[in-house]
C-alpha cells in the first residue's frame, strides 16, 4: 500500500489505484462500502495471473526454500498444520505433500474445506492438532490466526511461520512478555523459550517468510509485475467515465495477454480456433477465452499436430466441436486411444471415420477398433460420446453435488424420495433427440434441468408455447451456458436461467475431481 499511495500522491488525487494483495483489496473494498474511495481501483489480486501464478506456483516453491534456508528441517514424516486452503495454501500443500509431510488443514470456508478433503487432507480445528504438529504455517490473510494460547500448547521445537499476510497472522506481540525469553539463532530465526525450557522456532518474527527467508522466482515476479503495470496503464489511459470510484477486476483480455508474453519461455504453442469452432463456442478467435469472473497446473502447451504422431492417448475436454479431426486421426500411431471427456458427441469427428476405406471392429461394449488400409488401428471409446458417462461409474458423491441424473443411480435417488422419474437412454444421435422429445412432449414441465442446452433448444424449436409455464432453467454444461447466452443476446430467452456450470461446486468438484477419477475408471 505505501508504494501505491506514493504513486497516487505523485500523480495527483484524481489518478487511479491498483492493488495486488488480498488485504489491500479488502481495505479498498471497505473504503468503497464506506463511500470513502474517490478514485477507481483495479483489483489485481483476483486476476488469474496473480492467483494462479504468484499465489499458487511461487508459494509452492518458496515455502520449501524458506523453511530449508532457515531451519534445515527434514520434511519427510513431519506433521504440518496449514491454516487456510486458498491458492497460497494449495501451493504450500502441493510441495509439502510431495516431500512426505502429513498435512492438516484449518478452514473457515466450506468450499475450500471440501477441496482440501478431496485432495486427501484432514480438515481440523487448530486446537485439535496444535499439541502434536511439528510445523505451523499460516496462509489466511487474516489476523491472530495463531494466538498465545495456541503457542502455549505447542510442543518443543515446533516451527511457526507465516505465508499469508503482513505480520498479523501470528500474534507475536503476545510473546513479548517477561516470562518468555527470545534467543536469536540466526538471521530471521528466533527461539522463543518458555519457563520450562520449551522452545518454539519463530521465523521472520511472524512476517511473510517467503519475503524474508527466501529468494522469489524471478519468472513469477515478472508475471505479477507485468499484470500490475498493465493495470496502471489501463487505468491511466482509460477514457473519462469508463471507470468510476469503485473496485474493478483486471479485464480478462489483459490477463491472457500477460500469460501469452510468458509462454515463449516454455516454447509453448497455442492452438488457434477455426471460424466454425469460435462460432460454436461464442468466442472471438483472439480472445478473451474465459468470462471475466473465471478464476483458473506444469504441463507442456502444444498444438495438437505437433504431438499427434507420438502420443498414446488423446482425451478431449473442450466443450467445442471437431477438436480431433480425420486429419489428426490419420496421423495417429497404431494403438492410439481416443476418447471424449468434454461435451456431447461433437469433439471427435467420428463421422469422418465412417468411410469405405476404414473398417470398424467392435472389441467390446463401448470399444471400437477403427482399422486403416495399412493395418493401423486406433481405439475409439464410446463412439466419441462422453466416455465417463458411457464407460465408467460416476463417483456418487460428486454426482449428488451436481444433481446429475444421466446415470441410473441419479434417477434411482430421485425415485427413492417419491419423485416420478421417466428415463430414456439411446446410443445414436437419432435416439438422443427421440429421448429428448419423449421427455417433454406428453406433459407440461415447469422447470428445465439441462445439460448441454439440448432440451431448451428442442423445446424452443418444437414446443415454444410450453415456455409460458416454465419458471426457469438450470444449465450445468459449458456448451449449454454458451447457448443460453446466445439466446439471451438474441432476445429469445423468455425465462430466467441459472448458470450452474460456473459455480465453484461444479467447476472444482464435478469437472475436476470426478473427471480425475472417471477418466481412469474402466
Same domain for 184 and 64: yes
Backbone phi, psi, residue 475, to 5°: -125, 130
The predicted structure's pLDDT at residue 217:
77
What confidence tens digit (pLDDT) does each residue in 151-200 have? Answer: 999 999 999 999 998 899 999 999 999 999 999 999 999 999 999 999 99
Task: Look at residues 120, 123, 90, 118 and name the one whose alpha carbon lies nearest to residue 514.
Answer: 118
**Residue 259: which residues within 8 A CB-CB, separation 6 or more?**
48, 49, 223
Same domain for 68 and 143: yes
150-159, 203-212, 253-262, range with greatest mean pLDDT:
150-159
What confidence tens digit (pLDDT) does each residue in 27-86 have? Answer: 676 666 677 778 888 888 878 888 778 888 888 888 998 998 899 889 999 999 999 999
Identify the domain boundary among 336, 359, 389.
389
State mean pLDDT over 501-513: 78
State mean pLDDT over 486-493: 87
Please tell me what DSSP assigns to residue 465.
Answer: G
What is the CA angle 145-147-153, rounded to 5?
Answer: 120
Identify the domain boundary among 355, 372, 389.
389
- Is residue 271 in a domain? no
98: domain CATH number is: 3.40.50.720
The predicted structure's pLDDT at residue 378:
94
The 3-state DSSP composition of the chain as helix, strand, coil percent (nearest 5) reads 40, 15, 40
Say whether pLDDT at 404 is over 70. no
CA distance 136 to 151: 10
Same domain for 111 and 184: yes
Which of the four pLDDT bands, split at 50, 70 and 90, describes residue 4? very low
Task: Look at residues 188, 209, 226, 207 and name the one whose alpha carbon lies nearest to residue 61.
Answer: 209
Q: Are the C-beta atoms of residues 508 and 111 closer than 8 Å to each other?
A: yes
Q: What is the largest CA-CA distance in the chain?
A: 89
Consecutive H or E run containing 470: none
- Is residue 109 in a domain? yes
pTM exceeds 0.75 for this model: no
225: domain CATH number is: 3.40.50.1480
Say whether pLDDT at 266 is over 60. yes
- Is residue 247 in a domain? yes
Same domain for 505 and 372: no
Same domain for 222 and 208: no
* % of the chain beyond a pLDDT of 70: 82
Same domain for 166 and 111: yes
- Is residue 280 in a domain? no
Strand pairing category for 367-371 and 377-381: antiparallel
Same domain for 37 and 86: no
Q: Are the C-beta atoms of residues 193 and 48 closer than 8 Å to each other?
A: no
User: Cell 520450562 belongs to which residue?
Assistant: 196
Same domain for 207 and 65: yes
Same domain for 413 and 513: yes
Of the candidate ranges 146-150, 349-353, 465-469, the one whose mean pLDDT is the lowest: 465-469
Strand pairing category for 181-186 and 189-193: antiparallel
CA distance 452 to 46: 29
Please tell me what DSSP assigns to residue 1.
Answer: -
Quote the mean pLDDT of the chain. 82
Same domain for 466 and 325: no
Identify the domain boundary among 389, 415, 443.
389
146, three cell numbers: 495463531
Q: How many domains, in total, are found in the chain?
A: 4
The predicted structure's pLDDT at residue 255:
87
Chain centroid to CA 243: 28
Which of the four pLDDT bands, split at 50, 70 and 90, describes residue 298? very low
Which of the four pLDDT bands, split at 50, 70 and 90, describes residue 14? very low
More reliable by pLDDT, 376 or 281? 376
CA distance 522 to 517: 10
Neighbours of 44 (CB within 10 A): 27
Chain centroid to CA 517: 17
* % of the chain beyond a pLDDT of 90: 35
Task: Look at residues 438, 445, 435, 487 and name the one whose alpha carbon lies nearest to residue 465.
Answer: 445
Same domain for 203 and 63: yes
State mean pLDDT over 383-390: 80
Please tell me what DSSP assigns to residue 373.
Answer: T
Which of the four pLDDT bands, split at 50, 70 and 90, describes residue 8? very low
More reliable by pLDDT, 284 or 124? 124
- Is residue 296 in a domain? no
- Is residue 182 in a domain? yes
More reliable by pLDDT, 183 or 8? 183
Same domain for 97 and 21: no
Residue 506 belongs to domain spanning: 396-518
- Is residue 6 in a domain? yes
What confidence tens digit (pLDDT) does each residue in 84-104 have? Answer: 999 999 999 999 999 999 999
Neighbours of 162 (CB within 10 A): 30
Amino acid at each position: 500500500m505505501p508504494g501505491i499511495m506514493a504513486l497516487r500522491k505523485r500523480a495527483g488525487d484524481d489518478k487511479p489505484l491498483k492493488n495486488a494483495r488480498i488485504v489491500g483489496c479488502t481495505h479498498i473494498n471497505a473504503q468503497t462500502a464506506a463511500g470513502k474511495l474517490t478514485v477507481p481501483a483495479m483489483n489485481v489480486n483476483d486476476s488469474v495471473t496473480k492467483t494462479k501464478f504468484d499465489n499458487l506456483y511461487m508459494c509452492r516453491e518458496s515455502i520449501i526454500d524458506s523453511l530449508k534456508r532457515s531451519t534445515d528441517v527434514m520434511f519427510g514424516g513431519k506433521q504440518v498444520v496449514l491454516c487456510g486452503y486458498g491458492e497460497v495454501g494449495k501451493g504450500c500443500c502441493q510441495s509439502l505433500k510431495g516431500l512426505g509431510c502429513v498435512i492438516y488443514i484449518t478452514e473457515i470456508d466450506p468450499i475450500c474445506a471440501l477441496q482440501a478433503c478431496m485432495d486427501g487432507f484432514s480438515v481440523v480445528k487448530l486446537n485439535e492438532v496444535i499439541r502434536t504438529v511439528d510445523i505451523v504455517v499460516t496462509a489466511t490473510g487474516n489476523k491472530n490466526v495463531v494466538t498465545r494460547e495456541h503457542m502455549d500448547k505447542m510442543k518443543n521445537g515446533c516451527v511457526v511461520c507465516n505465508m499469508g499476510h503482513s505480520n498479523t497472522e501470528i500474534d507475536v506481540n503476545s510473546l513479548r512478555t517477561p516470562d518468555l525469553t527470545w534467543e536469536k539463532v540466526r538471521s530471521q530465526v528466533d527461539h522463543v523459550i518458555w519457563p520450562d525450557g520449551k522452545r518454539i522456532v519463530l521465523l521472520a518474527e511472524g512476517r511473510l517468510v517467503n519475503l524474508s527467508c527466501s529468494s522469489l522466482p524471478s519468472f513469477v515476479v515478472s508475471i505479477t509485475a507485468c499484470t500490475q503495470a498493465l493495470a496502471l496503464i489501463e487505468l491511466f489511459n482509460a477514457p473519462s467515465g469508463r471507470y468510476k470510484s469503485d473496485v474493478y477486476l483486471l479485464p480478462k483480455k489483459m490477463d491472457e495477454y500477460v500469460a501469452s508474453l510468458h509462454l515463449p519461455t516454455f516454447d509453448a504453442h497455442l492452438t488457434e480456433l477455426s471460424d466454425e469452432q469460435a462460432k460454436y463456442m461464442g468466442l472471438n478467435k483472439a480472445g478473451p477465452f474465459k468470462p471475466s469472473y473465471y478464476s483458473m497446473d506444469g504441463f507442456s502447451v502444444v498444438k495438437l499436430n505437433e504431438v499427434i504422431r507420438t502420443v498414446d492417448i488423446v482425451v478431449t475436454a473442450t466443450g467445442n466441436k471437431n477438436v480431433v479431426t480425420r486429419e489428426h486421426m490419420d496421423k495417429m500411431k497404431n494403438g492410439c486411444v481416443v476418447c471424449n471427456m468434454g461435451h456431447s458427441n461433437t469433439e471427435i469427428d467420428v463421422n469422418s471415420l465412417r468411410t469405405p476405406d476404414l473398417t470398424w471392429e467392435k472389441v467390446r461394449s463401448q470399444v471400437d477398433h477403427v482399422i486403416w488400409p495399412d493395418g493401423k488401428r486406433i481405439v475409439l471409446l464410446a463412439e466419441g460420446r462422453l466416455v465417463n458417462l458411457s464407460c465408467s461409474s460416476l463417483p456418487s458423491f460428486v454426482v449428488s453435488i451436481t444433481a446429475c441424473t444421466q446415470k441410473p443411480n441419479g434417477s434411482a435417488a430421485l425415485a427413492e424420495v417419491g419423485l416420478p422419474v421417466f428415463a430414456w437412454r439411446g446410443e445414436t444421435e437419432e435416439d438422443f433427440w427421440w429421448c429428448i422429445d419423449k421427455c417433454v412432449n406428453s406433459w407440461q414441465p415447469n422447470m428445465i434441468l439441462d445439460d448441454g442446452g439440448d432440451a431448451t433448444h428442442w423445446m424452443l424449436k418444437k414446443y415454444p408455447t410450453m415456455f409460458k409455464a416454465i419458471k426457469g432453467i438450470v444449465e450445468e454444461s459449458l456448451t449449454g451456458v454458451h447457448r443460453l447466452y446466445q439466446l439471451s443476446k438474441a432476445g429469445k430467452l423468455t425465462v430466467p436461467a441459472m448458470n450452474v456450470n460456473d459455480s465453484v461446486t461444479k467447476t472444482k468438484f464435478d469437472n475436476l475431481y470426478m473427471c480425475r477419477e472417471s477418466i481412469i475408471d474402466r
